[in-house]
Structure 1
Amino acid sequence: MVRATRSVGPVLRVCEAGGDARELRLRLLDALRRAVDFDFHAFVLTDPETSVGSAPVAAVPHVRDLPRLIRLKYLTEVNRWTGLAEPPVALLSVGDPARGPLWRELLAGYGVRDVASVVFRDRFGCWGFLDLWRTGGVFDPGEAAFLAEVAGPVTAALRRAQADTFVTRPPGARRLGPLVLLLSPELAVLGQTPETHDFLTALIPPAPDRQPIPASAYNVAAQLLAVEAGVDGNQPSARVHLGDGLWLTLRAARIGGRDIAVTIEETPPGERVALFCRAYGLSARETELLGHLAAGADTREVARRMFLAENTVQDHLKSVFARTGARNRRTLLARALGWTPGADNAGSGPAVTV
């Protein structure tokens, strides 16, 4: 086994500092570049359950090729992030690059000679993946070993960053109704509902005087193409944080057998609670308990449903408080369900006995 000889210290310090998921990834890329040289990159957050990309940070040769790039990425089985295990790193140059349509049909034309692919996965789900592209040569085994060594700490930092988004929503926070983006099979934008533009701008702010890039929608639609091609069986959906504790779910489906509709709506309470539990690393018992509380059960009812003593339920709840930093049930549930204190939370889940 090749061991990394580069210092992992700068990357570990960035991971320990944490912060917003976007800023965290930008700082990680800077730290990684000190040890591993690369020309272009795509650092994508993923839904931990479906592994579908939800929010990318990328630098690519030509932005106009982004829809094609994402479509080919999802249709490529070679070194696909959903198939990487241990080590969680793979190099395109180890093997036949031409086996993958992404390199064969696009990256070769950019002069890319190698791609280092890393997946950030733990027992709670897949939190992201990173592709580093190099045009001047290939990555060596030492560089691959370095990326494998930092994958664990980066995974933990990404999960913490997602957990930190579950805040109590501020008074006056808007609720988002369903939005739709219509794409062609090649992922060209054909149409959208009026508010979709505002959502895309807030999710991935574009450069001044530029139209927003629907990269999150491209990822979900590309996953639909991957499912249809038999490359991957995960659902074409992803949950993404917009801001102020608001989580949205994107889903892709065919319209009339040809075009692809990507729907964007506020994440339903059950899906949101499940994501909350994954992000905070709750145990199976703790997850079950929180699900019962979110459904409106009090301590006695939770004990009956889980076949536990009431004192044991309280012990589990204390553990949940410790993991999430919540001080009481009301705060815990407000964060998990996306409630706004003092607001009409109709449609955001059942009433809860606290």
Structure 2
Amino acid sequence: MAGWDADRLTREVERLALRGLPRDQLHAELAARIRRAVRVDAACWHGLDPRTLLMTTADPVELLGKGYLAPEDEPAAARAVLASEYDRDDFNGFAVLARRRAPVGLLSESTRGRPERSARFREYLAPHDLPYELRVAFVSRGRAWGCVVLHRSDGPDFSTQEVRTLARQSRPIAEALRASLRVDAALRDDHGHAPGMVLLGRRNEIQLVTPPAEALLDRLGGQSPATLEPVPLPVLTVAAMARRNSRSDAPGPVPSLQVPTGGGWLSLHAAVPRGADHGNVAVVIQPAGAGASVGLELEAYGLTGREREVAWLGVTGVSTATIAEQLSLSPWTVQDHLKAAFEKTGTHSRRELRSKVFYEEYLPAIGSHAPLDAGGSLIPRVSSRTPPT
């Protein structure tokens, strides 16, 4: 089978992005194309929250299918990967790669030929016969939408040319993942769901779960392998960050994630309760509010931050002159941003854009005959005073 060069691989990935495939199918199709250019023994895919660069999904199907991981070994392997990302400094963390000009990291190169310097190598890669590791973050317009870990069980290691080839795929694969999110998060049945809370012990065992959280945990379970249940990967991610913050002399903001699921976007927030046992973490899970989910939807279409601000105001009835005044822009710049928003979403007017993006917030409520609120509107209500960020 003839190998593809970097240009051919990029063209094939760009064609694939146009299909808007569901996440798991997209991963399989991408892996097949990458293998036409680079030898890969197993690939493990991860989703990233573009705002926080925290992991939202894991897809180790190849590691399991090819026998590098047994189902009973996967929870320990997942803990090792999470620890290398959030509990300690290690080489080629996903967030670090996402900020590099070339968002790739070859473990042997980063460790100067001594991969055993990496705790992840000692605890996970070497014991599972995966000594050669190449990581790629997928970044478009400065936003990271996912990453992949490519493994080889025997030499030679990934070459400099192969690393460059995969670095060139960062943008087109990011755009393919972004399109996939529009499929995964297209359904919305969040109306009327109350927030839920999960209390995790120091070993991530569930000590307490409220009834509303049970259904939301089931939805999040689709974001990670079944062997990690009953605690899905996004919950483990925010819990790990909360523990790290609690140990810091200058704690950061409360860790939060916006996670796409087949039933809409979910928001996760984590904190270490005061007076709780060491290592306990409380995680609140709730449907993302209309403002948050619409903002994420617009970003998934590729709109820049300014384009999202203008589009939000435009489709909620604010005039061009008022938008220009509020955002300190000229009216012509506002029109340029609206035109870009129309092109990226495949619409031609404010009305079409409102129908395409905002109507998805209301369709499930209409179909379920949800009652109107005191103002005569379906819930959730879109407020022009809360622009997406």
Partners of 1:77 and 1:322 in 2: CA distance: 41
Q: Give the letter for the 2:257 counterpart.
A: A
Give, as a single letter, the amino acid of the residue that structure 2 aligns with 1:187: N
**Count of residues paired in the alignment:** 346
Question: Structure 1 residues 209 and 276 mapped into 2: Cα distance closer, same or farther (>3 Å)?
Answer: closer
CA distance in 1, matches of 2:140, 2:58: 20
**SS at structure 2 position matched to 1:340:** helix
Q: How does 1:80-229 map to 2 (within 5 A)?
A: 80-84=93-97, 85-94=100-109, 95=111, 96-137=114-155, 138-163=157-182, 167=186, 174-205=191-222, 214-227=232-245
Counterpart residue number, 2:29: 27
SS in 1 for 2:147: strand
In structure 1, how many angstroms separate the alpha carbons of the residues matched to 2:117 and 2:336?
53
Q: What residue number does 1:346 align with?
A: 379
Q: 1:34 to 1:229 in 2, by over 3 A?
A: farther
Q: Tell me how far apart the structure 2 counterparts of residues 158 and 30 of structure 1 sit (CA, whole Å).
A: 16
SS in 1 for 2:21: coil
Is the alpha carbon distance of 1:158 and 1:315 closer, same or farther for their aligned partners in structure 2, counting shifts above 3 Å? same
Mind listing any 5+ residue stretches in structure 2 that lack a counterpart?
64-68, 373-377
Instruction: Assess if the C-alpha contact under 8 Å between 1:12 and 1:150 holds in 2.
Output: no
Residue by residue over 1:157-180, the C-alpha shift from the partner in whole angstroms, topping out at 9 and shown as x without a partner, is 11222345565x67x764432122
| The one of 48, 68, 74 aligned to 1:63 | 74
Q: Per the alignment, do residues 183 and 107 of structure 1 end up closer, same or farther by CA in structure 2, a change over 3 Å counting? A: farther
1:154 maps to a residue whose letter is: I
User: For 2:44 and 2:194, how far apart are their aligned partners in 1?
Assistant: 30
Distance in structure 2 (CA, Å) of the matches to 1:203 and 1:126:
20
Matching residue's letter, 2:265: W
SS of aligned partner of 1:106: helix
Q: CA deviation at 1:147?
A: 1.5
One of 280, 289, 295 as aligned partner of 2:301: 280
* Cα distance in structure 1, aligned partners of 2:135 and 2:321: 49
Aligned 8 A contact 2:43 2:150 in 1: yes
TM-score when scaled to structure 2? Answer: 0.74
Shift of the 306–68 alpha-carbon distance from structure 1 to 2, 3 Å rule, reads closer
Q: Is it true that 1:15 corresponds to 2:26 in the alignment?
A: no
Report if aligned partners of 1:67, 1:186 keep a CA contact under 8 Å in 2: no
For 1:68, give the aligned amino acid: R
Q: For residue 123 of structure 1, report the CA deviation from its aligned partner.
A: 2.2
* 261 and 78 in structure 1: CA distance in 2 versus 1, 3 angstrom threshold: same
**8 Å contact from structure 1 (residues 294, 350) kept in 2:** no
Gaps of 5+ in 1: none
User: Counterpart of 2:148 in 1: which secondary structure?
Assistant: strand
- Deviation string 1:28-71 (CA, Å, 9 cap, x unpaired) is 12322344344443211111110111122123412232441342
Structure 1 residue matching 2:344: 3-state secondary structure: helix
Is 1:267 aligned to 2:267, yes or no?
A: no
1 or 2 for the larger relative contact order (CA 8 Å, sep ≥6)? 1
Alpha-carbon distance, 1:130 to partner: 1.0
Contact 1:121 1:127 (C-alpha < 8 Å) held by counterparts: yes
> How far off is 1:296 after superposition?
6.2
Alpha-carbon deviation of 1:120?
0.8
Question: What secondary structure is seen at the aligned counterpart in 2 of 1:17?
Answer: coil
CA contact (8 A) 2:190 2:287 kept: no
Q: Which moved more, 1:70-79 or 1:322-331?
A: 322-331
- C-alpha displacement at 1:325, in angstroms? 2.5
1:71 aligned partner, one-letter code: L
* TM-score when normalising by structure 1: 0.81
Contact 1:338–1:348 (CA under 8 A) maintained in structure 2: no
Asked if structure 2 preserves the Cα contact closer than 8 Å seen for 1:67 and 1:218, the reply is no
Greater CA drift, 138-147 or 207-216: 207-216
**Residue in structure 2 matched with residue 77 of structure 1 by the alignment:** 90
Mapping for residues 246-257 of structure 1, pairs under 5 Å: 246-255=264-273, 256=276
Task: Assess, with a 3 A threshold, how the Cα gap between structure 1 residues 21 and 281 changes in structure 2: closer, same or farther.
Answer: same
Q: Offset at 1:98?
A: 2.6
Counterpart Cα distance in 2 of 1:241 and 1:191: 24
How many percent of aligned residue pairs carry the same amino acid?
A: 28
Q: Distance in 1 between matches of 2:286 and 2:382?
A: 15
* Cα distance in 2 for residues equivalent to 1:11 and 1:307: 39
> Residue 322 of structure 1 corresponds to which residue in structure 2?
343
For 1:52, which of 43, 54, 57 is the aligned residue?
54
